[in-house]
Amino acid sequence: MVEAAAFTHTSPDLHAPDLELMYSPVLWPAPGEGTVPAGHGVTVAPVVLQPRSRGAVELRSADPFHPPAIRLNVLSDPDGEDLRVLTDGVRLALQVLDTEPLRGYLAERPAPGPQDADVAAFLRAHAQTIWHASSTCAMGASDQAVVDPQLRVRGIEGLRVVDASVMPTINRGHPNAPVIMLAEKAADLIRERTARPTTALPAS
């Protein structure tokens, strides 16, 4: 339901955008509130394009059917850079909403107070993921990488991973196009592989 998006910089010194603003002609329900908005409205959502906070996916037990522990660790980067980018994003979003003709359509506008501490408290209470997870089993040349540069799972013959989890870093945008590129590259690698004998990768 995102009808428009803007990619922008929070600093003129940056060589590429670090912030996205997503626009929706409906209210986004908060987590746990269901899927039906409480009323009419618009949503402007600031997004950190390359967050520095790092989550984790961990095994809970040796049972393969036991769901893993997924820890998002949102806004946990020690330098506070993610919080700074989002704070700038909230202020830019409010500036957009205060500009005509949008301002004339808005009867009320819930917003944090004027201080950075107010914005930070607002973000910690309301920030959520947009579910573009990636980089959980990143490819690489070292034996610490889950998959090698040909997307083969180390230590398991005949198995490749082809999705956003193999990205070594998070791209500055939506993952649809990069995942399509990965899939097309993987198809080429598999076609090339069928003409040659296969060998197992050494276990890490």
Q: Which residues are catalytic?
A: 132
* Residue at token pair 């003709």: 101
d(CA 137, CA 155): 14
d(CA 142, CA 170): 19
3-class secondary-structure state, position 10: coil
Assess whether the previous peptide bond of 25 is cis (omega < 30° from 0): no
Tokens at 43, concatenated: 């949503």
Rounded (5°) CA angle 21-137-82: 30
Residue 140: count of CB within 10 angstroms of its CB: 14
Phi/psi at 147 (5° precision):
-125, 155
d(CA 181, CA 196): 24
C-alpha torsion sign, points 103, 104, 110, 114? positive
